[in-house]
Amino acid sequence: MISFVGAGPGAADLITLRGAQRLAAADVVIWASSLVPAELLQHCRSDAAIHDSATMTLEDVLAVYAAHPDDTPIVRLHSGDPSLYGAIQEQVDWCATVGRTWEVVPGVSSVSAASAAAGRELTIPGVSQSVVVTRLAGRTSDSMPETEGVAAYAARGGTLAVLLSAARPDELQAELLGPGSAFRADTPAVVIVRATWPDEQVVHTTVGELAETVRSTGATMTALVLVGEALAARDDERRSHLYAPTYTTAYRLRSHAGSTAGRPSARRTGS
């Protein structure tokens, strides 16, 4: 079985229990040292064969898989959650083609870790109810569908999480403030470098100051930018409907002034 495991954003205790169990059982581990801290390998057995994918091509990785029978427990450790820029699809497709058993074990994305580090929810009622995870086109510009550049999403507003773009801060700021953008120079932004790593940096700024702020962190990799009005500290007492006393749910009937009267006593409240 080949397990594509999300390592989480960096801290060794932010891998899921299932991910840690897969690492502990693995005979073979392929990990990305450029994106995943070495501390994550503490979950591996000391006799596991460890390969660093930082210097490997896809063909090299597939050759490691092919060298072992299907019942060998193999872990391919990807940063954050494998579903975002994880490059797992080509590996999953290979497994399907050659008849290998595989699974994906999800992980905590850097987007969630960055939001936690910034102390801001990304969806605030009446402000933003959508989050777009995107990137600048960059070196792999032919990967970027024409309608999906940062400028296209900036025109719509909401909350943007921009990954893989810290090396081109001027380009990022220019796309965020291009013609027709819903963002302004004073729109809040947060630069998060190495979220959950020991040297994590969190800098609250504005879109107008974004390029300078990114440069001031010194980061070009393992950094992301959150953009949008949801990132603003606010004192306007906005709150979600879900926990309002006047809002009913299948789990909580209408109540007044925070009273719990009417709530089904034997049922758990939703999250």
Ligand X SMILES: C[S@@+](CC[C@H](N)C(=O)[O-])C[C@H]1O[C@@H](n2cnc3c(N)ncnc32)[C@H](O)[C@@H]1O
Applying CB under 6 A, the span of 23-31, 69-77, 189-197, 204-212 interacting with ligand X comes to: 189-197
Nearer to ligand X, 106 or 178 (CB): 106
Looking up tokens 């470098």 gives 193
Binding part of the chain for ligand X, among 55-63, 77-85, 88-96, 233-241 by CB under 6 A, reads 77-85
Q: Is 187 in the site for ligand X (CB under 6 A)?
A: no
Among 61, 224, 226, 231, binds ligand X (CB under 6 A): 224
Residue 123 CB, shortest distance to ligand X, in Å, is: 18
Alpha carbon dihedral 115, 85, 11, 3, in 10-degree steps, equals 130
State yes or no: residue 85 binds ligand X (CB under 6 A): yes
- Distance (Å, whole) CA 72 – CA 271: 39
- Quick one: 134 or 252, whose CB is closer to ligand X? 134
* Cα distance between residue 139 and residue 229, in whole Å: 30
The distance of closest approach from Cβ of residue 164 to ligand X in the complex, given in angstroms and rounded to an integer, is 4
Q: For residue 40, state whether it binds ligand X (rule: CB under 6 A).
A: no
Answer yes or no whether residue 213 interacts with ligand X by CB under 6 A: no
Element (H, E) at 12: none
- Regarding 134 and contact with ligand X (CB under 6 A), the answer is no
How are the residues of the chain apportioned to helix, strand and coil, as percentages rounded to the nearest 5?
Answer: 30, 20, 50
228 contributes a contact to ligand X by CB under 6 A: no
Closest CA to 32 of 218, 221, 253: 221
Name the amino acid, one letter, at 64. V
Which DSSP helix (H) or strand (E) runs through 131? Answer: strand 131-135
| Contact positions vs ligand X (CB under 6 A) | 9-10, 35, 79-81, 84-86, 109-110, 113-114, 163-164, 192, 194-197, 221-224
